[in-house]
Amino acid sequence: MSPVEHTSLGSTALPADLDEAAHRCLVAGFDGATTVPDALKELIDRGLGGVILFTRNIRDAAQVRRLTDELRALRPDLLVAIDNEGGGIGHLGAAGAPEVPGSYALGVVDDPNLTARCADALAAHLATLGITVSYAPVADLQHRPDNPIVRTRSFGADPEAVARHLRAWITATEARGVASCAKHFPGHGGTATDSHHGTAVDPRPYEALQADLEPFREAVAAGVPMLMSAHVVFPALDPGRPATLSRRILGDLLRHDLGFDGVLVGDALEMKAIADEYGQAAGARIALAAGADQVIIAVGDLNVTLDCRDAVLDAVRTGVLAPERVGEAARRVRRLAERYATPPTTTTVPAPAAGGAGLGLRAARRAVRSRGVPPAARGAHVVDLFPPPHPGLNWGGEDLLNEVRAVDPTATGTAVTGECADPDALVEGIVRRCGAAPLVVATCDAGLHPWQVRLRDALLDRRPDAVLVDTGLPDGGVLHSYGRGRVNLRALAEVLAGA
């Protein structure tokens, strides 16, 4: 279907400035890495506020810079954004992204200067690529054991500690001329559902939610230019709608109580908490009416973006969405673009601070914690149990076994990324291959994945001397890496191998 077929009949009746303002409120994902699709060119020409890049758009660093230059040649004030949290949450591995541990590991170390240096390395890399918006850091608290979405993406559970690290991250990113974005307001840590997959509800009373707001207050005080909302229902704040679609939460709480006047961007509309309950097009319209300044349509199919665009234009034309609200949102986006849209040239980006080489691994080493000191397990058989990362992320197949073998070539092992058809046979095979060698069993958030618990316990029944390791949050192991980024796993491997 062509862009022309998607243009609503009413959109032609809008004044040019209002049409442009409505387009400013959209951030679009797209397929392709070497060419800009025609439908995206049409959106950019009409005033599109931003694009978001994913792994599907990345080949190497030179290609990314050519792509961002081409996008900005079409419209110099176009914002180019990406998720760039560190710790394996990112899309720029093929473009040489710095390897840094995730936020939880940095929170365990609790050295804001180290957090700032890691954030600086990531932001400097973005600047060289022509990417001007980083949808990071995560401001959510991780305080619920069964929360499936925040976990090691958070700096921790303590509001004051998280606030310290947010300030360090935001300040370092801003110093690189890259816009940071604290997420997911007013907090995703109190849910037992991932809003990517369904309706997420935080059932806590109003008083209990105040701690989760403190990191966002600190982010606002630190001058963060963007916040991202959560697709979470908070009955104590607004029982009817998730935060992204709630005037009470975005208006009364965020704008009035917290005093935030930057750009509020709604999380991706294709997430099922919005798409299944409201539909993406209606979600775009309702979010903007509620007080969001931009909405993200992250899917590569631009037909979906055009449907959302048409819903917004038709809502403005019919008065369902007030022109004043769209104008206010567009002004905030323009103000953001004036400050951040033009990146430095590749030759004018200052290098990261001295000692930047190997920074991420040194940081990850500082984060490893143990309950006692397990003996070095050279020549071990390593069983790494973990759920496969989201297919949209830049996972290169790294696992603990690979990292152990890099420091101890005599190691053997097995990586298991999901429930198998015959777990008894798998356990028998592992025990047989291991023989008399030390056995290491690593799990990643086993409490969320019963198949890991069953395999771990079955292996312990056969080998009570096995060394238990946690690569997610602590879960009974003697060693904890607090994340599965490559440097987290390498730091853990060094301890296991006595390197």
The per-residue pLDDT for range 372-426, each reduced to its tens digit, is: 766 678 899 999 999 987 766 777 788 999 999 999 999 999 999 999 999 999 9
Residues 100 and 231 in one domain: yes
Bond prior to 3 in cis (omega within 30° of 0): no
Other residues' Cβ atoms within 10 Å of the Cβ of residue 98: 20
Among residues 386, 380, 378, which one has the least CA distance to residue 463? Answer: 380
- Write down the pLDDT at residue 11: 42
Average pLDDT over residues 317-330: 97
Residues 335 and 373 in one domain: no
- Write down the pLDDT at residue 21: 98
pLDDT single digits (tens) 8-43: 444 456 899 999 999 999 999 999 989 999 999 999
CA separation (Å) from 193 to 183, 189, 196, 272?
17, 10, 9, 11
Residues 396 and 323 in one domain: no
In the annotation, is 196 catalytic? yes
Mean pLDDT of the chain: 93
Residues 13 and 112 in one domain: yes
Number of structural domains the chain divides into = 2
Residues 277 and 326 in one domain: yes
Among candidate residues 69, 158, 196, 252, the one labeled active-site is 196
Residue 380 lies in a domain: yes
- Torsion sign (Cα): 149, 153, 158, 164: negative
Between the CA atoms of 218, 137, 205 and 288, what dihedral angle is there, to the nearest 10 degrees?
100
In the annotation, is 381 catalytic? no
Spatial distance between the Cα atoms of 374 and 165, rounded to a whole number of angstroms: 31
Residue 353 lies in a domain: no
Residues 148 and 223 in one domain: yes
Q: Which of 340, 357, 386 is the last residue of a domain?
A: 340
Residues 70 and 151 in one domain: yes
Residue type, 301: D
Residue 346 lies in a domain: no
Structure tokens at 289: 């009416």
Residue 348 lies in a domain: no
Residues 157 and 266 in one domain: yes
According to DSSP, residue 343 is labeled P
Spatial distance between the Cα atoms of 127 and 178, rounded to a whole number of angstroms: 7
pLDDT single digits (tens) 444-488: 999 999 999 999 999 999 999 999 999 999 999 999 999 999 999
Task: Give the SS3 label for residue 416.
Answer: strand
Say which CATH number the domain at 310 has. 3.20.20.300
Among residues 67, 84, 78, which one has the least CA distance to residue 341? Answer: 78
- Write down the pLDDT at residue 371: 86
Other residues' Cβ atoms within 10 Å of the Cβ of residue 355: 9
Structure tokens at 302: 């631009």
Spatial distance between the Cα atoms of 474 and 465, rounded to a whole number of angstroms: 19
Residues 330 and 452 in one domain: no
Q: Which helix (H) or strand (E) holds 295?
A: strand 294-297
Between the CA atoms of 329, 334, 340 and 342, what dihedral angle is there, to the nearest 10 degrees?
140
Q: Which residues contact 274 (CB under 8 A, 6 or more apart)?
A: 231, 242, 244, 245, 280, 283
Residue 68 lies in a domain: yes
Residue 355 lies in a domain: no
Residue type, 489: L
pLDDT single digits (tens) 105-164: 999 999 999 999 999 999 999 999 999 999 999 999 999 999 999 999 999 999 999 999
**Number of separate helices (H) and strands (E) present in the chain:** 18, 17
Write the DSSP string, 178-237: -EEEEEEET-STT-SS-TTTS-EE----HHHHHHHHHHHHHHHHTT-SEEEE--EEETTT
Other residues' Cβ atoms within 10 Å of the Cβ of residue 77: 17
Label the pairing between strands 294-297 and 263-266. parallel
Q: Which residues contact 31 (CB under 8 A, 6 or more apart)?
A: 37, 56, 57, 300, 301
Residue 354 lies in a domain: no
Say which CATH number the domain at 467 has. 3.40.50.10090
Q: Which of 320, 340, 360 is the last residue of a domain?
A: 340
Among candidate residues 267, 314, 470, 475, the one labeled active-site is 267
Q: Which helix (H) or strand (E) holds 336?
A: helix 323-340
Residues 403 and 298 in one domain: no
Provide the domain limits for residue 266: 3-340
Q: Which of 340, 358, 379 is the last residue of a domain?
A: 340
Predicted TM-score (pTM) of this structure: 0.94
CA separation (Å) from 415 to 62, 300, 404, 462?
34, 31, 12, 18
- Write down the pLDDT at residue 352: 64
Q: Are 262 and 225 in contact (CB under 8 A)?
A: yes
Residue type, 384: D
Residues 276 and 136 in one domain: yes
**pLDDT at position 357 over 70:** no
Residues 331 and 474 in one domain: no
Residue 356 lies in a domain: no
Sole residue written with tokens 């390897």: 99
CA separation (Å) from 192 to 188, 197, 389, 409, 445?
9, 11, 19, 40, 14
Residue type, 15: P
